[in-house]
Chain A
Amino acid sequence: SYVLTQTPSVSVAPGKTARITCGGDNIGSKSVHWYQQKPGQAPVLVIYYESDRPSGIPERFSGSKSGNTATLTISRVEAGDEADYYCHVWDRSSEHVFGTGTKVTVV
Chain B
Amino acid sequence: QVHLVQSGAEVKKPGASVKVSCQASGYTFAGYYIHWVRQAPGQGLEWMGWINPNTGGTNYAQKFQGWVTMTRDTSINTAHVELSRLRFNDTAVYYCARGGRSGTSLAYFDYWGQGTLVTVSS
Contact = CB atoms under 8 A, between A and B. Distances in A.
Interface of A: 31, 33, 35, 37, 42-45, 48-49, 54, 86, 88, 90, 94-101
Contacts of B58: none
Interface residues of B, number: 20
B108 A43 contact: no
B110 to A, nearest CB: 5
B59 interface: yes
A19 B42 CA distance: 22
A99 B35 CA distance: 17
Interface of B: 35, 37, 44-47, 59, 61, 95, 97, 100, 106-110, 112-115
What DSSP secondary structure best describes chain A's contact surface? strand
A42 B110 contact: no
Given A42-B95, A42-B112, A49-B108, A96 B47 contact: yes
Nearest to A44: B112
A95 B109 contact: no
Given A95-B59, A95-B61, A96-B35, A45 B110 contact: yes
Given A33-B108, A48-B100, A48-B108, A86 B35 contact: no
